[in-house]
Every structure is written in structure tokens, then in C-alpha cells.
Structure 1
Amino acid sequence: MLMSSEKEEDLDVIPEDSSLLTLRIRKKTIERREETIIVDRACRQETLTYEMESHATGKRPDDPTDLIEEGELLLTLNIFYPVIFQKHKDHKPYQTVLVLGSQKLTELRDSISCVSDLQIGGEFSCQPDQAPEHISKDLYKSAFFYFEGIFYNDKRYPECRDLSRTIIEWSESHDRGYENLQSVKMEDYVFNDLSLKIGFPYLYCHQGNCEHIIIVTDIRLIHHDDCLDRNLYPLLVKKHWLCTRKCFVCKMYTARWVTNRDSLAPEDPCFFCDVCFRMLHYDAEGNKLGEFLAYPYVDPGIFN
């Protein structure tokens, strides 16, 4: 039986007088990694923002029929992290998108990247090689936008449900001050049909309870220096850069698996890259070692 000291030991603190070559090498690696992270974090965000903003500036389509006409409205939308992601709920918008007034709401809906759409349901500790049949976006296609008292529900597919129905029934059950809430089909409306307020928070909801605040920050006419290729809109112009969660073992690669009740891990939950996960939890024949539950992990930083 291992006896733990009252003060928990930090495994990343290497003694100065260590005579072991492996520990001296690890100390240098940790110091170099910390220096790189501090520099890279700011530089990568700045570089990413510049490249995204300048990539499509003044771009013209190859096909003249795709040229945006003079007088077209251009809206700037800030899309925030989901409310359920507590870690990032107070951050700056993680996506800034330009949309045309003539575009359908479904085009914006299809362009929004969210890690919730990529989740894989199921527990795979006994069969880690079993390929999942569907990601959550394929299984749960329902979604809605909420603008000025109207729920715009995605009804393009037979399996789509009206997610706003419960909210509307709740508001009608008592006098809650929300009068005349309506539900319409998202695919029947373009942005020119909407009455919007600049700076006012609206809502995008998908996967049942993954809610994003959307704020319109600007509405103007298209300019000749803007991207004039209709096919590139909705146009992503800014994205918040995230640090990915690294594997607990190697500290190098992005986590691909998360385990619970893991007899071989010091933390619960514990995150692993694919290589370390398999080396630690399975023998050469692929048989499971120890007791644990394993779930595929999709890191929010994959959209970097």
C-alpha cells in the first residue's frame, strides 16, 4: 500500500540537484515548452486573425454569375461559445461571420462550427476500433434561431423536431410576458426578411440544449473592396484560437479518448491520445487491461 504525503507532490517540479540524466532532460523539455507556449499563444491568434481577414479581401468570382450585385446587404455576426461550455462562456466571440442579406438562415446554420455536432455517443472500452456509425450532427438535426419573438426552426429533414414548441407552450401556460411567440421554417427565410437590432443578443440552439448567443455587430452595403464571390459566404473572418487538451501521458498530442473510473489512471476523468491510450489499456492482442470506461473525445481546439 502506497503512503501519500500530506502535501501533494507536483510531478512537473524537477529537483535542482538531480543526478539522473532523464530528469535533467525532462527539466529542459518543460522549460522549453513553457517558453514556446507563452510566445505561440499570442502569435498564433494574431496570425490566424490576420490571415482570415485578408484571405478573401477583394476576391472576385471566376463565374460572373456569382458576382455579388451592388446594393447587397452585408451583416457581421458574432457567434459566442455555447453556454454549456463553462470554461469559455466569458471569452470573446469564437466566430465572426459575414453573411449576405439575400442568404437563407439555413446557410448560416450549416456554416457554424461547434464541437457538440461532432460528439460520438457510446462507450468503447471493449471495442476501441469499432467505427461509430454516426456523429451527433447526423443523428440530431433539429435546430433553431430566435430573432425578435420568432423561432426559425430547421425543418429540412423528416426527422427534424420543433425544438421551440416546448418553450412556446411554457410561455403560454402562464402569463410570463412573452406574447405572440411564433414558430416558422428556417429554410423559408433570408436575412433581408428579418427585423434585427444591432448589439442585441439573439439565440442559436442545436443538439437539444447547446445554445449560442449571436450578436449582430454591423449591417452595411457591400463595398468593392469586400469579397464579391457569393460562393464564399457565409464568410468566416475571425476565430478564437484555443489551446488543445494534451494527452496526460505524453503531454504532446491532442487527447482523443477520455476515461472514467480508470484503474490505471490517477485522474477521473483522464485524457489520452490514441497511441498512449492503447499502449496503457490493452495488451499486444488488444485485450482490455484493468477496469475503465472509454469514450471518444473531441477537443474544441480542432477548429483552430
Structure 2
Amino acid sequence: MDIVHEADKRGWISKSSNVKRFVEEWNYKLNRNALFEHGSVLTENMFSEIDSTFSLEVCPEVAEYEYSRFLEIPEDVELVTLIVQKIELNKRNSSVKYDKQVYQHFRNYNFPPHQMVGAENVEDIPFEPVDEPEVALTVQIYRPEKKATPYDRKFLSRLPCFKIESNFMVLGNQHLCELRDKIECLSDKVIPFELSDFPDMEISTTCKDLYKSGFFYIEGVVYNDMRDPDCRDYSEPVIQWSKTGTDVMEMQKGSMENTKFKDLKLRLGYPYLYNHQGNCEHLLVFSDMRLLSDEDVKNKNAYPMLVTARHNKRIFCMVCKIFDARWVVFNNPRLPETPFMFCKKCYVGFNYDSNKQKIGQFKAYRFIDPPAVMNA
């Protein structure tokens, strides 16, 4: 895959790292006995010298000011971070359009980690202490790339458009399948039945219940989820394809439920893959790797932790334009276009008579609104 991605030319992609070795090396560096091999200790004078050297008096701007869009930074500051911040704030204040773009871009990523753990709060989760030293990995899950239409492929030089769906923080001692269980995707929530003849039928079966297979591809290894007897081994055709002499390295097989994150060799910033529902593909990127600090949540059961999630736009009924869409209708000659979105009330009122008999011929499916997936 290096030939395809040209990782050596991407400055944001790190070299391959062994997660377990990373923890051991940094734990050794931070250990008091490792720092002072001869048994020496810091004297009071040494503490005073370190305290004076790294005091905020060296950079009074940091102590006096805090980050804010209304921050007034003096002209004579020498700290590069404040100089860059001043340029950015001046640009926002001078352009209303740019200020709105920045707000729109960042408003979906300002949730403190302790306020968002799936649909629960950290305080509501049973406490189990984290075994330290522990490594924390930040994982970015991207939306599936939108397929190009025939028009796009013929007339437009369209580049792929990848957007981050959610960011998770996972621990090194957790299994890969624990992250998979936390990932929410619209294709898992879909009800795969045509229901135009049964508008009132309540169905709880989703695609995730029927098609449980999935895998992660990380550094040449396909990690299958085989926890359920109905799961299929997705790796076989992929591994056979990798042996056909393409530019892709020959792949190996692994188990998602038997592999921990600390057992991985990975590169930060490198695009890996999460595949489920047969052909629903998400880019998966490890963006950060560090030791767990005192500021992090120390409840093991709170991880994998949903740190941030992109807010999706609501899709409204195309009739009343008030309520959320709950049905999508195809090939109805009485409608101006197909597909057509309906809320529950408008769907029944337009497509059925007083006896709940279907008017005309059409196909209808339950529609899952993206915000409903994130709030489920």
C-alpha cells in the first residue's frame, strides 16, 4: 500500500511504531529510577532551579492572556504562538464570512471528552480503574466516500471528499472488537425490507443484525470479527487478491477479538480501513498515541470513548417541511421526483386511503436520519 499512498512523501505520516514498545520506552524514561540510575535524588536547590527556569515569568503573556476570539494581544510579543494567534484573530474580526466558516468548521468538535461517551455520561458507568502505565490512542473514523455519479465521472475531474465522522480514544489493553462495537454507521441501522404493503408494521431487525461480518485492515493484516457463528471471513478474497501481483503487499489474517491495540504496529496519520456490510468502507486513521495522563478519565469502562462527533444535518419531509423524514418512496408516478422523503404522517396520508390500502404502485423503505444514528 506504500506504493499507492506514497507515505514517504506525506509529512504527516509517521514511521511504523510498536504500541507495546512505545509504552515500555516512555514508562522507562518517566520512571524515577531510570532517570537517576545512580540513585541520586533531586535536592531542594535543584527543584528551585527547575522551577525558576520553567516559570511562567519567562513568558508572561501566557499567564496574562487566555485564548479567546476577543483576545487583545500586544504588538510587541515575541512568542510565535501568540503572533500566529493574533494574525488569525485579526482575520476573523475583519471578515464576517471567514469568521462564520471557522465557526461552522469547529462547532462540531468542541465537546469535552467527559461529556460524550456514546449516549451515556462517564459518571453513569460502573467504575473499573485503568491499569497504568497505559497508552491512549486517538482514532479517526471517516464517512464512506460518496460514490461518483456517471455525470461526475464523465464531465468533472472530481477528487475524493473524505470527512471525519467521529473521533474515539481507545486504550492499549482493549481489543479491536471493542472499538468496532462503538462505531455507528447509517448502513448498520437500515431496515432492509420493502414495506409499502405494511405501513404500520413495527420491525426492529436491522442490517447489523443480519450481516454481522466486518474487518479492520492495519499494516498488512486483515483482522476479522468472528465472534458470531454467522460471521463470514472477509479476509479470504482480499488476501487472494493481494497475491495477484498488484502493487499491494501480500496480506495476512488476524482476529479482531483476540488482538489488542498494544499488539499493533501502526503509523500515525496513515489511512487504514474498516469494512462492514460487505462494501461499506470507512477510512480509519490513528492520529495520536500517548501515555494516559492524570487529566484523562481513569475509568476503564468508559473506553473506547467517543470524543467528538460530526453533527449531521436533519433531513425533513418534502411535503410539510416540518418533521424529520421517516420514509423514502421510489417510483411513485403521483410524485414529482424519486426518491421522495416523507414524515410518518404525510406518508400515510398521501400514499394510503382511509382503509390503509396502498394507492397506486410504488416501493417504500424506512428512512434513518443520520442525526438519529448519532443520538441512538
- Tell me if TM exceeds 0.5: yes
- Tell me the alpha carbon deviations over residues 275-296 of structure 1, each in whole angstroms, 9 at most, x when there is no partner: 1100111122211112221111
| Residue aligned with 1:215, SS | strand
Q: RMSD of the alignment, in Å?
A: 2.6
Question: Contact 2:113 / 2:305 at 8 angstroms: preserved in 1?
Answer: no
**Contact 1:104–1:188 (CA under 8 A) maintained in structure 2:** yes
For residue 217 of structure 1, the aligned residue among 251, 265, 287 is: 287
Give the structure 2 partner of residue 135 of structure 1: 206
**1:108-257 paired onto structure 2 within 5 Å:** 108-132=179-203, 134-172=205-243, 174-257=244-327
Distance 1:86 1:274, change over 3 A: farther
Q: Give the 3 Å change call, closer, same or farther, for CA 272–163 of structure 1 in structure 2.
A: same
> What is the deviation of 1:242?
1.0
DSSP-derived class of the 1:94 partner: strand
- Report the Cα distance in structure 2 between the residues aligned to 1:259 and 1:62, rounded to whole angstroms: 41
Structure 1 residue identity aligned to 2:280: C
Give the partner amino acid of 2:260: V
Q: Which residue of 2 aligns with 1:70?
A: 132
Contact 2:327 2:347 in 1 (8 A): yes
Contact 1:52 1:236 in 2 (8 A): no
3-state SS of paired residue (2:136)? strand
CA distance in 1, matches of 2:338, 2:274: 32
**Cα gap change, 1:213 to 1:266, in 2 (>3 Å):** same
Report if the CA contact (8 A) 1:101-1:192 is conserved: yes
- Equivalent pairs counted in the alignment come to 260
Alignment partner, residue 113 of structure 2: 53
Q: Runs of 4+ in structure 1 displaced over 6 angstroms? A: 59-64
The answer to whether the aligner puts 1:263 opposite 2:333 as a matched pair is yes
Distance change (3 Å), C-alpha of 1:241 and 1:164 = same
Q: Is the Cα contact below 8 Å between 1:203 and 1:213 reproduced in 2?
A: yes
User: Are the aligned partners of 1:61 and 1:229 in contact in 2 as well (CA < 8 Å)?
Assistant: no
Q: Which moved more, 1:212-221 or 1:48-57?
A: 48-57
CA offset digits 1:37-72 (Å, max 9, x no partner): xx9xx67972x6434435279x789866x1113310
* Paired amino acid for 1:75: L
| Cα gap change, 1:52 to 1:120, in 2 (>3 Å) | farther
Q: Distance in 2 between matches of 1:260 and 1:282?
A: 15
**What does residue 168 of structure 2 align with?**
97
2:213, 2:261 → 1: CA distance? 20
Which stretch shifts more, 269-278 or 126-135? 126-135
- For residue 81 of structure 1, what is the aligned residue in structure 2? 143
Q: Displacement, 1:114?
A: 0.3
Give the deviation of 1:169 after TM superposition: 1.2
**Alpha-carbon spacing, 1:75–1:295, altered in 2? closer, same or farther (3 Å):** same
Native 8 Å contact 2:126 2:301 kept in 1 = no
Amino acid across the alignment from 1:234:
P
Aligned pair in 2 of structure 1 residues 62, 162: CA closer, same or farther (>3 Å)? closer
1:151 is paired with a residue whose SS is: strand
Aligned-pair distance for 1:237?
A: 0.7
Query: What's the TM-score once normalised by structure 1's chain length?
Result: 0.79
Give the Cα–Cα distance (whole angstroms) in 2 for the partners of residues 62 and 287 of structure 1. 47
* Residue aligned with 1:132, SS: coil
1:120 match: secondary structure: coil
**Larger CA deviation: 260-269 vs 70-79:** 260-269
1:120-165 Cα distance to aligned partner (Å, 9 max, x none)? 1121111112233520000000000000000000010111111121
Q: Is the 8 A contact 1:74 1:221 kept in 2?
A: yes
Q: Provide closer, same or farther for how the CA distance between residues 195 and 276 of structure 1 changes in structure 2, counting only shifts above 3 A.
A: same
Q: Tell me how far 1:112 sits from its aligned partner.
A: 0.2
Q: CA 1:118–1:290 in structure 2 vs 1: closer, same or farther (change >3 Å)?
A: same
Instruction: Report the CA distance shift for 1:54/1:63 in structure 2 as closer, same or farther (over 3 A).
Output: closer
Q: Which moved more, 1:247-256 or 1:130-139?
A: 130-139
* 1:87-129 superposed Cα distances (whole Å, 9 cap, x missing partner): 9x62531100000000000000100000100111121111112
Could you say what secondary structure the match of 1:202 adopts? strand
For residues 214 and 206 of structure 2, what CA distance do their matches in structure 1 show?
16
When normalised by structure 2's length, the TM-score is 0.64
User: Structure 1 or 2: larger helix share?
Assistant: 2
Q: Is the 8 A contact 2:116 2:308 kept in 1?
A: no
CA contact (8 A) 1:100 1:233 kept: yes
Give me the identity figure in percent: 39
Q: Secondary structure at the match of 1:238?
A: strand
